[in-house]
Amino acid sequence: MSRPPPSPDPDTPTNGKPAGDVRVTSDQLRERALLERMHVRLLAVAGGFSFLFAVIGLRLTFATVLTPMVPEARQIRPQVPEIPKVDPKGSLASALALPQVKRAMIVDRNNQALAVSLPVAQVYANPSELIDPKDVAHKLKSVIPALDEDETVRRLSLPRQFVYLARNITLQQELAINNFGIPGIYFEPGERRHYPLGMMAAQILGGVDIDDHGIAGVERYFDKRLNSDRNPLKLSLDVRVQAVVREELAKAKDTFKAIGACAIVMDVNTGEVIAMVSLPDYDANNFAHAPADARFNRAVTGMYEPGSTFKLQTAAMALQLGVAHIWDRFSSIPIRVGRFTIADMKTDHFAPWLSLPEVMAFSSNPAAAHIALDVGAQRQQDWLRGMGFFAPVPIELPEAGHPIVPARRNWSLSTTMTVGFGHGVAEPPLSIVRATVATVNGGILLKPTLLARDDAPVIEASDAPVISGGAESPDETQPSPEGTRVFSPQNSTLLRKILRLDVSKGTGKTGEVPGYFVGGKTGTAEKIGANGRYLKHVNISAFTSIFPMNAPRYAVYVMLDSPQGTTATHGWTTAAWNAAPTAGRIISRVGPMLQVFPDTAHADRIEAELAIPLRPQPPRGVRPLGPGNDPGDPRHAAEERQAEEHRRKVQSATERESARTSPESRGRG
């Protein structure tokens, strides 16, 4: 077997080449080996980078797709959660609470939202992290039109690490700014108070400051509660009734060109304020820019002479103290007191002597003054103080003002008389309503409240209506009043009849509403000018009323400030021409809303039950007050006062003389 020829030895010189060529070939081989090692290293490095990129890609996949990372809290705040299902009746209001807001909602008695806090954001920046302040300001301006671009550029150029740029921006604006991806722009969560019904109950709700703290109204009164308890604060107001009252009151204010007006609807058994309107008013969302006159709540802050509406208190006081009875008669002849004369506007429709029901029905000033004199100054003051007329009305409003009443040392004979018919004192309208309610609800002086009773039912369309005077009396279904007894039930029943008489046959006829058996009292008082004197033909006209009088449920009060006469009123500006008919229209509209419907089927029976004669006959053997028996005659009162003063002077002189001549006195001398 032959062998294959041997391979040429690379170290053996061939073709006659010199031995030096062998060394060159070895260098090439070493370079080749070095390149191969470098190639391996490059592959290893490339593999390492590939691994790192794979790890980073996997992490990014988890961070952005599989398990996205939560944005930094200061970059974007938590978003608004999904709102629950549509709830037109508002039954879910107590369960709806946005996690971003702290201040609780305010709702009416039927859970209609009156005040809510909405999540917003505050935009701020760290100028040291910004690249181009002008570009940033231009972008922000495109989202926030109200932003001052030049001022923003200036602030972003300051050598600071924190500057506020905008407050209370919306969710959409926040997202739009966040989408710009501007480094150095941050967001801070906040909330903004919103009043969805605008002008509705603006003076009652009040407002909050920039830090969401209450500064007026129930927002201020319940500030601590609203910030500590997220359950809605339920008010006694009914926005349906509130809307009707505001509409009718605004019509009257415009018709009679009054400078102001107010109206109140209150539950006579619970003290709950169902509606309270003061005009002019304002949009509650614009509290900071509302004029002072619009923010002024005339129902609790305004002080007005009550006029003849106060005669109800004079009559009630005399009856309860046993000073007068319904068969007693009082002089309506003008009374001269110093340089003043107490007289009636018209006397052609009544006699010189009036029974107590006639005094109320015809609204006689001199007769009311006589009744007040029969009671006396001291008992008059004590009574009015007990009825709450000397203190701010107790209501959950910090704006409740203090009444204007004469000091005890200035409570003269003339003061006793003028206060008897509603002059010489100034009271907030809610105090008049509170006292009126006490005369008809069985004699209980209630504490008015803006909070809904815990057991107050939500009015449903399917609830059985209350028919005034029907077979099932509302008295049997209403809660018993809780408060201070100031009248006997018998006198309360009597006063209900007297108030009904004032509407059926007296000055309040224009407040009548068929089937509602309205009772009430008109009142017209001249305004006091800047010089402290009464202004002729510039009045405060008011009507305080109750319905239905056979089973009282609600009080309605209307007041017009400085109304002007019209052709329809023949130029008259008294309450019978403006305030009383306005209250009647309110009653006819809100009655059905409050589930009290007119009853015409039992009208004859109800009127008979409420009837009281204009001039009742005294019981046999009783000598009534009247001609020849009038302890309230101011002449007798003046004589008695002079005699009392003389007696005191004599007693004082006697005591001084006794002290001077006593042994102890001589010893000390």
* Cβ neighbourhood burial of 668 (10 Å; 0-12, 13-18, 19+): exposed
Which amino acid appears at position 402 of this protein?
Answer: H
Query: Which token pair is 1?
Result: 């077997």
CA distance 382 to 380: 6
Place of tokens 């807001």: 101
Report the amino acid identity of residue 187.
F
According to DSSP, the β-strands at 596-597 and 466-467 are parallel
The DSSP secondary structure of 439-508, one letter per residue, reads HHTTSEE---BSBPPTTPPPP-TTSPPEETTSSS-GGGTSPPP-SEE-S-HHHHHHHHHHHHHHHHTSTT
- CA pair distance 45, 54, nearest whole angstrom: 14
15 phi and psi angles, rounded to 5 deg: 50, 25
Quote the CA–CA distance of 584 and 148 in Å, as a whole number.
54
Distance of CA 330 to the CA centre of its chain: 42
Closest among 597, 608, 634, 595 to 458, alpha carbons compared: 595
Residues 556 and 539: beta-carbon distance below 8 Å: no
Cβ atoms < 10 Å from Cβ of 215: 15
SS (HEC) of 15-79 = CCCCCHHHHHHHHHHHHHHHHHHHHHHHHHHHHHHHHHHHHHHHHHHHHHHHCCCCCCCCCCCCC
Residue 392: Cβ within 10 Å count: 18
User: What's the rounded Cα separation, in Å, for the pair 579 and 617?
Assistant: 33
With residue 591 as reference, give the H or E element that holds it: helix 579-593
Q: β-strands 329-331, 466-467: how paired?
A: unpaired
Which of the residues 308, 331, 355, 468 is marked catalytic?
Answer: 308
Which residues, other chains included, contact 286 with Cβ-Cβ below 8 Å and sequence gap of 6+? none
Question: Does 142 participate in catalysis according to the annotation?
Answer: no
Match 């709102």 to its residue by tokens. 83
For residue 282 the two structure tokens come to 């304002």
Write 214-223 long-range contacts (CB < 8 A, 24+).
216/287, 216/295, 216/398, 216/399, 217/397, 217/398, 217/399, 218/106, 218/396, 218/397, 218/450, 219/106, 219/115, 219/193, 220/398, 221/396, 221/397, 221/398, 222/396
Count Cβ atoms below 10 Å from residue 531 Cβ, excluding itself.
7
Active-site annotation, residues: 308
